[in-house]
Chain A
Amino acid sequence: MAEPLLELKDLQTYFFAAQGTRIVKAVDGVSLSLAPGETLGIVGESGSGKTVTSLSILRLLPTAARIVGGEIRFAGENLVTKSEREMQQLRGDQLTMILQDPMMSLNPLFTIGEQIAEPLREHRSMRGQGLVERNKDLLRNVRIPSPEVRLKEYPHQMSGGMRQRIVGAISISCEPRLLIADEPTTSLDVTIQAQYLRLLKDIQQRVGLAMIFITHNIGIVAKMCDAVGVMYAGKLVERAPVRAIFNQPAHPYTEALLQAIPSLTDRRERLWSIEGQPPDLANPPAGCPFHPRCPKAEARCHVEIPPEYHIDENHYVRCWLWEKR
């Protein structure tokens, strides 16, 4: 087995609010690994900790948050202990991220050309005509027509789909090893979503990029990902190859998520949703966080947090129901 590109070991990221009196355990003991070139999808409800996990990897947490435990191993090195300077060198170069809203991601006061050029200038010290040519190439790779013209234009002159592609171009400009995409299609029209996803897959194959795809849309996961991690209330409750998740979901929450997807052959009259609400992360319930909403909860689930069980090849689940096997 090849050396994993990214490995999270028991990552804990907490938010400290109200002068330290309220502690929100946004990410509470998450472990996962990612091989080079692999695409991992992370799914979960809002507030489950998906975004905070990705921000932790990049070490770009808001001031109220802090990594309080665990390791993040990227290409063998622990990112948690790196200095800010070292992280700055990694970001944009080897590690990169695509944000959700293309409208807001680009600075309205600078030209596209200027914004694309920045990572190359910073990390590859490119200048002058060489830089301009490379910028045009990047735009062509994300299928933006007439790049020479586009480089001189401003963000508000472009459509949403184009902006998202430009953001994509910026992120791969230095040929990174890992790309984290945080809900990249949520604010796009449905018609453009498919195009964009194909583009991302394309880039990935060309550049040999590993991707982490954060989404709440299971359909996208099925299409794009090799492996899936399911998060709930700051914990990773199941992780498995994509087929296993769909065909043999192990955790009750995963089952519930799959059940909630409406389908054309569905004979049910009402849309089914999971009862209850996600827990307050400042005061999480004792035991397994899902137990208040879990149809299969047992007495033990109310009291103790289950450990991770290895139930199949690359398939892990954090649930007491799997203890015996």
Chain B
Amino acid sequence: MQRYILRRIFYALISLVLLSITIFCLVRVTGDPAVLMAEPGAKEADLQIIRQEFGLDKPWPVQYVRFVANLLQGDFGTSIYYRIPAFDLYVQRLPASLLLAAVAMAISLILGIPVGVFSAVRLNTWIDNIGKLFAILGLSLPSFWVGLILILVFSVSLGWLPSSGSGTFWHLLMPAFSLGWVFTAAHMRMTRSAMLEVLGSEYVKLARIKGLPEKLVIGKHAFKNAIIPVLTLAGINLVLMVNVAVVVESVFAWPGIGRLLYEGIAFRDFPVVQTTVLLGGVMIVAVNLIVDILYAYIDPRIRYG
């Protein structure tokens, strides 16, 4: 098993390296990084100063080494707009995004799993059709549009919920629902297919042969086995949620890292943008690695393989 874990860590490191190289190259390929780091309207002389200060006139490999060295020390550059280190800014805003993602995830599971179970148990009936429709709608509606419509209905028409900002539970409700919407559909689909697979299994057949009431067959035997892949998916999706929250956070002015990215773009604050993407990628790699390692503990084949 140790070999397995070491291999996973190795791959994770490769991913991180690739991530940094990609971002590094992209920035230089699409334009002049000095321009990106300078204030708008800077003159050539100012750009030269910036180039010297950040070593942008050196050959790329040298720059890259410096880039990585900085990253490892936690130096992700300084925000042009806020004038504090981009890393600190990111860390400041992260909890808000995590909170949003957590609630969105909870909503997606609370809504998605039961619908998936009912869909599978009442296969091809009208209940299943509603479930399938629900799943397709989830994939077809962009999350930010769901947010806009919610604002229209609950803030503008009914005046029940605040349309932006944060602070109370009521501020959290609409953004979490919009963010969770797509994932509700994904979790519902996963639950449905996992349940269908389990319902066709031999041990469920045996449970019926034993004469157990249907509620017990579904609720105890089928459900427990079916929930495993769903939770795995949910774990991976959590990080994904944090990253795709950009639009929802923009719509609702929720002060998380998504909004930070948006601000970075709007204010042409390049270090912030770069930091958000880099750290977002790091989080994904880290979570995938953790999930892989957890699997090693759960699946005996890997453990003793």
Whether B209 and A58, one on each chain, are in contact in the complex, defined by CB atoms closer than 8 angstroms, is yes
A141 contacts the other chain (Cβ, under 8 Å)? Answer: no
Give A93's nearest chain B residue, CB to CB. B211
For the complex, is B167 an interface residue (Cβ under 8 Å from A)? no
Instruction: Mark contacts of B197-213 with chain A using CB atoms, 8 A cut-off: 1 yes-contact digit, 0 otherwise.
Output: 00001110111111111
Docked complex Cα distance between A58 and B146 (Å): 49
Please judge, given known A-B contacts A63-B123, A109-B224, whether A89 and B211 are in contact too, CB under 8 Å: yes
A214 touches B (CB below 8 Å): no
Bound: A104/B203 CA distance, A: 6
Q: Is the CB of B202 within 8 A of A101?
A: yes
Determine the chain B residues whose CB is within 8 A of the CB of A84 once the complex forms: 214
A108 within 8 Å of B by Cβ? yes
Please determine whether B206 and A105 come into contact, CB atoms closer than 8 angstroms: yes
Give complex CA distance A173, B300 in Å.
Answer: 31
Evaluate contact between B213 and A104: CB separation under 8 angstroms: no
Judging by beta carbons under 8 Å apart, are A119 and B211 in contact? yes
> With a CB–CB cut-off of 8 A, which chain B residues contact A97?
209
Q: By the criterion CB–CB under 8 Å, are B202 and A123 in contact?
A: no
> Is A126 part of the contact surface with B, judged by Cβ < 8 Å?
no
Contact call A119/B210, Cβ cutoff below 8 A: yes
CB neighbours (8 Å) of B201 from chain A are 104
Write the B218-235 contact mask toward A (1 if CB under 8 angstroms, else 0): 000100110000000000
Cβ–Cβ contact B212 & A118, under 8 A: yes
Q: Interface residues of A toward B: which range?
A: 20 to 34
Look across to chain B and name the residue whose beta carbon is closest to the beta carbon of A96.
B209
Among A60, A101, A123, A156, which residue has its beta carbon within 8 angstroms of that of B209? Answer: A60
Find chain B residues with CB under 8 A from A133 CB.
Answer: none
Q: In the bound complex, how far is the Cα of B208 from the Cα of A63, in angstroms? A: 14
Say whether A60 contacts B210, CB under 8 Å: no
Known contacts A63-B123, A109-B225, A156-B300; is-contact A91 B206 (Cβ 8 Å): no
Q: How far is the CA of A109 from the CA of B171 in the complex (A)?
A: 41
**Which residues of A are found within 8 Å of B216, using beta-carbon distances?**
122
Residues of B within 8 A of A170 (CB): 206, 210
Q: Mark A97-120, 1 if CB is under 8 A from B, else 0.
A: 101010011111110000000110
Q: Which residue of A lies closest to B210 (CB)?
A: A92
Shortest Cβ gap from B217 to chain A (Å): 10
Contact residues in A for B212 (Cβ distance below 8 Å) = 88, 92, 118-119, 122
A110, B223: Cα distance in complex, Å: 12
Q: How far is the CB of B195 from chain A (nearest CB, A)?
A: 14
User: Which residue in A89, A99, A122 is a CB contact (below 8 Å) of B206?
Assistant: A99
**CB contact between B211 and one of A106, A123, A156 (< 8 Å): that residue:** A123
Bound state CA distance, A285 and B225, in angstroms? Answer: 44
Q: Give the interface size bracket for B toward A.
A: 10 to 19
Q: Taking A63-B123, A156-B300 as contacts, is the C-beta distance between A105 and B202 under 8 angstroms?
A: yes
- If A107-B221, A109-B225 touch, whether A118 touches B210 (CB-CB below 8 Å) is yes
0/1 per residue, A125-160, Cβ < 8 Å to B?
000000000000000000000000000000010000
Known: A63-B123, A107-B225, A156-B300. A99 touches B205 (CB 8 A): yes
Contact residues in A for B205 (Cβ distance below 8 Å): 60, 99, 105
Complexed CA–CA distance, A67 and B9 (Å): 57
A99 cross-chain contacts in B, Cβ below 8 A: 202, 205-206, 209
- Among B123, B201, B212, B221, chain A packs the most CB atoms within 10 A around the CB of B212
Q: Is the CB of A88 within 8 A of B209?
A: no
Are A91 and B202 interface neighbours, CB within 8 A? no
Residues of A within 8 A of B221 (CB): 107, 110
Q: Do B211 and A88 have beta carbons less than 8 Å apart?
A: yes
- Expressed in whole angstroms, the minimum distance between the Cβ of B243 and any Cβ of chain A is 33
Docked-complex contact B208 and A106, CB < 8 angstroms: no
Given contacts A63-B123, A156-B300, A105 and B203 within 8 Å (CB-CB): yes
The answer to whether A90 touches B206, judged by C-beta atoms less than 8 angstroms apart, is: no
A228 interfacial contact with B, CB 8 Å: no
Complex Cα distance A201/B23, Å? 72
Known: A107-B221, A107-B225, A109-B224. A167 touches B211 (CB 8 A): no
**Inter-subunit contact B225/A92 (CB<8 Å):** no
C-alpha spacing A96/B209, complex, angstroms: 6
Point out which of B208, B210, B221 has the most chain A C-beta atoms below 10 A from its C-beta. Answer: B210
Nearest CB of B to A93, in Å:
6
CB contacts (< 8 Å) of B206 on chain A: these are: 99, 105-107, 167, 170
Q: Which residues of A contact B202 (CB under 8 A)?
A: 99, 101, 104-105
CA A35 to CA B16, docked complex, whole Å? 72
A96 proximity list for chain B (CB < 8 A):
209-210
Return B127 CB to nearest CB of chain A, in Å.
14
* Most chain A CB atoms below 10 A, which of B208, B213, B225: B208
Contacts of A88 in B (CB 8 A): 211-214
Closest to A104 in B: B202
Residues on A with beta carbons closer than 8 Å to the beta carbon of B214: 84, 88
Name the residue of chain A whose CB is nearest to the CB of B201.
A104
CB-CB under 8 A from A91, the residues of chain B are: 208-211
Q: How far is the CB of B60 from chain A (nearest CB, A)?
A: 53
- A33-66 vs B, CB cutoff 8 Å, 1 = contact: the mask equals 0000000000000000000000000101001000
Known: A84-B214, A105-B205, A170-B210. 4 other contacts (CB 8 A): A91-B208, A91-B210, A99-B206, A119-B211
Contact sample, A vs B, 14 pairs, CB 8 Å cutoff: A60-B209, A92-B209, A96-B209, A104-B202, A105-B203, A105-B205, A107-B221, A108-B225, A109-B224, A118-B210, A122-B210, A122-B211, A122-B212, A123-B211
The 6 closest A-B pairs by CB, nearest first: A92-B211, A91-B211, A104-B202, A92-B210, A107-B203, A119-B210
